[in-house]
Amino acid sequence: MSLANEGTQAEGTAAQKTGTAGLLAIAGTVTLLHLLTNGRYGFHRDELQFLSEARHPDWGFVAFPPLTPFVERVSMAVFGLSMVGLRLISVIAQAAAIVVTGLMAKEAGGGRQAQVAAALAVALSPLPLFNGTEFQYTSFDFLWWVLLAYFVVRLLESGNPRWWLAIGTVAGLGLMTKYSILFFIAGLLGGFALTRARRLLASRYFAAAIAITMLIVLPNLVWQAQHGWISYHFLQSIHRRDVGEGRAQGFLVQQFYLCTNLFSVPLWLTGLVFAFRSRRWRALGWMYVIPLALFFLGRGRGYYIGAAYPMLMAVGAVAGERWVEKLKKLWRHVVTIAFFGGVTAYGMLMAAVVVPLAGSGPLMRFAMKNNGDLREETGWPQIVQAVAGIRDTLPPEQRAHAGILVGNYGEAGAVEILGGQYGLPAPISGTNTAWYRGYPTPPPTTLIVLGLSQEYAERMLTGCRVAGHIVNPYGLRNEESEDHPDILVCGGPRLGWPEFWRRFQHFG
């Protein structure tokens, strides 16, 4: 029996049609917002890494699985280096997640108001809003989590074990996007094992789902085995860095204002309580609690579990709709206005923080002050231009044998993606997968160095001098302008290239 009160077939059909129109309107509005603003500033540091890796297709990369670079390779072939075009796939992914959330509420028995409430709460949460501003694996990862939950709802609602095939497919795509979906899969398996849904695990379709997942991820597993499971070592290193820098602090608090819209908290809390109280939906409760506990105990970052909330929003909206229908007319209006008004107001505030709404003025200053990611979207063309200018000042004999040594993947991506117009050589980088690509043969005898401290460069390289500085065009403080603002010109490695390269491998 559905969670919502039963009505006539005509009433149900009308509510579903109106609900679908509302979902499309919300998703369309969010899409338009991103299309109008995603051309501002520049590429983010992480986007430059994905673009760089997209030029070197493989079945695996140190920092992430291969799906996102593959998508960006296709996007570059279609859109070139258009930021709006390249970010379009992320925008579509977020729009799809919004619609699927509403459909989840519908499958759980919700009418028009429940569908729209759940979809709007997701659309105006900080994490999905941010995911539409850049192409990152988190953008696609969010959609896979939502789709996985949706297919689980269809499985639990219908009892039809064929839905395992869809679940297995999405799980495979998720693992080819971001490995952290393993925690959600653990929640799924635990949720089914701990509830009466365990009977569905005995189906041959569940075994087929496992086979589908393994078949999809097999090429990446082979790549990992060939590279000594390097991504595991990368994730360990990044986790130690995050914990050491305090990025794991505030995990529980961030669930309320970062992963979700602050005014939607009653909605997803209701969904969590209702899921555990319902025999049918109890597995959904465990699908949230298990990864939450794993991330908390493992000291993960707050946003890691953000994609688990849409399913709670959906179930909570259905329960909330039933409760609101029992109120007197005046109180129904009060509760409805308070919820939708609060969610919209907080969503507008978060949009001003995470979305590049303005290219100048107070809105830009507000966003730059409160959003470090936007600050990392500025200055890359100027850095590449400065490197090209230094190259052009070198004596002809040095210029003919010059290379560009970079300290992080943002600089490597900027030189590789934006340096073509200046005729710059491919960057030499020891970060993540770029280290496997090695250095040129014959190696350069003069190096333009950026992203490394002068102390490190002088210890590892010969004849270093400061040749220029990185200056942010907006006068903003970010990693490039603050942590390593000097551009150096150096000779070759003191210990020779093979030994230097062995020591130069690092994660970032």
User: Which runs of E-coded beta strand occur in 430-493?
Assistant: 446-450, 465-469, 486-490
Average pLDDT over residues 64-71: 97
**Coil/strand/helix, residue 360:** coil
Distance CA 130, CA 303 (A): 11
Give the per-residue pLDDT at 413.
97
Bigger pLDDT: 312 vs 16: 312
Q: Which residue in 56, 79, 66, 62 sits closest to 413, CA to CA?
A: 56
Q: What is the pLDDT at residue 19?
A: 82
Going by C-alpha positions, the residue among 462, 457, 461, 446 that lies closest to residue 396 is: 446
Strands 486-490 and 465-469: antiparallel
With a cut of 50, say whether residue 508 has pLDDT above it: yes
pLDDT at residue number 481: 87
pTM above 0.75, yes or no: yes
Binned at pLDDT 50, 70 and 90, residue 17 comes out as very low
Among 199, 13, 197, residue whose Cα is nearest residue 112? 13
User: Mean of the pLDDT values across residues 396-408?
Assistant: 96
CA gyration radius, the chain: 25
494 band by pLDDT with thresholds 50, 70 and 90: very high
Instruction: Report residue 3's pLDDT band, with 50, 70 and 90 as the boundaries.
Output: very low
> Residue 43: is its pLDDT beyond 60?
yes
- Cα–Cα distances in angstroms (integers) from residue 160 to residues 151, 171, 278, 314, 494, in the given order: 11, 18, 19, 21, 66
Both tokens assigned to 373: 């990611």
* 345, 311 Cβ separation under 8 angstroms: no
Which pLDDT does position 477 carry in this prediction?
Answer: 86
Please give the average per-residue pLDDT across 69-82, as a whole number.
96
Sign of the dihedral through C-alpha 53, 54, 56, 61? positive
Whole-number percent of the chain with pLDDT over 90: 94
Buried b (16+ CB within 10 A) or exposed e, 135-161: bbbbbbbbbbbbbbbbbbbbbbbeeeb
pLDDT (0 to 100) of residue 471: 86
Question: Who's near 150: CB < 8 A, 6+ residues apart?
Answer: 100, 103, 104, 107, 311
pLDDT of 428 reads: 98
- Which phi and psi (to 5°) does residue 490 adopt? -135, 165
Nearest to 94 by CA among 122, 66, 64: 122
Q: Which residue has the tokens 């925008």?
A: 91
Handedness of CA 373, 375, 377, 383 (dihedral sign): negative
Is the pLDDT at 384 greater than 50? The verdict is yes
Q: Give dist(CA 203, CA 160) in Å, integer.
A: 10
For 154-158, what is the mean pLDDT?
97
Average pLDDT over residues 138-163: 97
Which tens digit of pLDDT belongs to each residue from 182-196? 999 999 999 999 999
| Predicted local confidence at residue 500, as pLDDT | 98
pLDDT band of 327, cuts 50, 70, 90: very high
Q: What is the mean pLDDT of the chain?
A: 94
Are residues 404 and 415 in contact, defined by beta-carbon separation less than 8 angstroms? yes
pLDDT higher than 80, residue 313: yes
pLDDT value of residue 18: 54
Two tokens, residue 342: 């609060």
Mean pLDDT of 120-143: 97
What is the torsion angle, in degrees rounded to the nearest 10, for the CA atoms of residue 290, residue 296, residue 302 and residue 303?
-30
Q: Check: CB of residue 272 under 8 Å from CB of residue 312.
A: yes
Asked if pLDDT for residue 8 goes beyond 50, the answer is: no
Residue pLDDT, tens place only, 229-272:
999 999 999 999 999 999 999 999 999 999 999 999 999 999 99
Residue 318 contacts residue 5 (beta carbons within 8 Å): no
CA dist 29 and 502 (Å) reads 50
Higher pLDDT, 158 or 9: 158
What is the band of 16 on the pLDDT scale with cuts at 50, 70, 90? very low
Output the six-digit token pair for 401. 């044998």
CB-neighbour burial class of residue 496 (10 A; exposed 0-12, middle 13-18, buried 19+): exposed
Cα separation of 311 and 330, whole Å?
Answer: 29
**How many residues are there in the chain?**
508
What pLDDT, on a 0 to 100 scale, did the predictor assign at position 483? 86
For the chain, what are the domain ranges?
18-361, 380-504
